[in-house]
Chains A and B, each alone.
Chain A
Amino acid sequence: MSESPKTLAPSLLDLIGSTPLVELPRLSPKPSVRLYAKLEGQNPTGSIKDRIAKAMIEAAEASGQLEPGRHLLEPTSGNTGISLALVARLRGYPLTCVMPSNVTEERRRLLRLYGAEVVDSPAEEGSNGAVRLALELAESEPSFFMPFQYANEANPRAHYDGTGAEIAAALERVDVLVAGLGTGGTLMGAGERLRESFPDLVVAAAEPLPGDEVMGLRSLADGYVPPILDVAKLDRKLLVSGEESVAGLRLLLEREGLFAGVSSGAVIHAALRVATELDGGVVVCVLADGGWKYLSAEFWDADDVGAAMERSVWW
């Protein structure tokens, strides 16, 4: 019998990070390419966002910006809100999340169970609408403290110190890092840390192709580039459709028994595209969450997967 590696933790927050890395041999397109997945769904609330929620709150408390009596506010399509809800609950802050009205019900319900307030932003404006509305609310009410994952340096730093350092410690060689592009935190932070250990690293972003119904911006100038994202630090930036993401999810389930969230399907799709172009090497995929919060979504059984994906914001 092997010895259990589990330790006794003083708090759930101490269980954030140090997630497992697993090889995906049945998904690798050729024997000379080794494919690994970092299972971020194994964080306490089930997503990679636990890392940045903890880091942003601790940084704000340490700098004196966040004190008891303040009210947390954050635009999110779900996971960051849920992670902040855990930290807020343990640290004693009330939390309001601004989310597009068309995100899956699981995310909304979980936030309410944690005691967070949910403010809807217009579905047709996608995540950009949640950012816009949260910025307006923060300006109108001084008691709000907005960690603002899109511009908070503690976000990429959590991935530099955590995600990236953990991968560098676990593997002797990494040629490609693939992660989903949202705020850019994972790609910037883990990418920078891994490039220090592996200077020829290719940092590849998997980016969602938004459905027409969630792109209802008045003009292209309403587009939003997160301040922490420096596109010049990405080597590849690959657009992945909803259908391709779901195909990636099904491959993960069928070949490796891994039940993952929508962005992970996109990451796998992008990773396989890059992997087939390689003669050999090591490709690490960061899988941001498990599939649980998407179980109610129509796409699992839909005849027209593309149409089912069009109507919502997934990541």
Chain B
Amino acid sequence: MAAVRIPPTLRAEVGGLRELEARGGTVGDVIENLLERYPQLAGQLYSEGELATFVNVYLGGEDIRTLDGLDTPVYDGETVILLPAMAGGV
């Protein structure tokens, strides 16, 4: 079981929760498990079947795009963080 942190933008879709639990052996499976319960999130997270470019997903604080993407393995107790891509630049 992994913890999934939900950004403020998506909380209304999941009953106001900041964090919930989801099951899966990879980041992709964990997200699929989440979408089974909250199918309305799919349109926000995916674009043409891929993770949308403006969505960042982190496992253990590291962007999955620099790991193995949605195939990155997830172990029990790990935390997946969903965030919108934010401009920075000081």
Contacts and interface: CB of A to CB of B under 8 A. Distances in A.
Interface of A: 47, 49, 75-80, 126-128, 130-131, 149-150, 180-183, 185, 207-210, 212, 215-226, 231-232, 234-240, 261, 263, 288-289, 315
Nearest to A262: B90
Contact of B10 (A180, A220, A240, A289): A220
Nearest to A211: B8
User: Which A-B residue pairs are the 4 nearest by beta carbons?
Assistant: A223-B54, A182-B88, A182-B89, A223-B84
Given A78-B90, A216-B8, A315-B89, A222 B63 contact: no
Contact of B90 (A47, A219, A220, A222): A47
Interface of B: 7-10, 44-45, 52-56, 58, 61-63, 65-66, 81, 83-90
A231 B58 contact: no
B88 A180 contact: yes
Contacts of A222: 9, 54, 84
Contact of A210 (B10, B45, B52, B83): B83
A75 B56 CA distance: 22
B63 A215 contact: no
12 contacts: A79-B90, A126-B87, A127-B86, A183-B87, A209-B83, A215-B84, A221-B52, A224-B85, A239-B81, A240-B61, A261-B90, A288-B90
A289 B90 contact: yes
A209 B88 CA distance: 11
A185 B90 CA distance: 12
Contacts of B7: 212, 215, 220
Nearest to B11: A212
A237 B66 contact: yes
A181 B63 CA distance: 12
Given A150-B87, A210-B83, 4 more contacts: A76-B90, A128-B86, A216-B9, A236-B66
A122 to B, nearest CB: 14
Contact of B66 (A210, A235, A289): A235
Contact of B61 (A127, A221, A239): A239
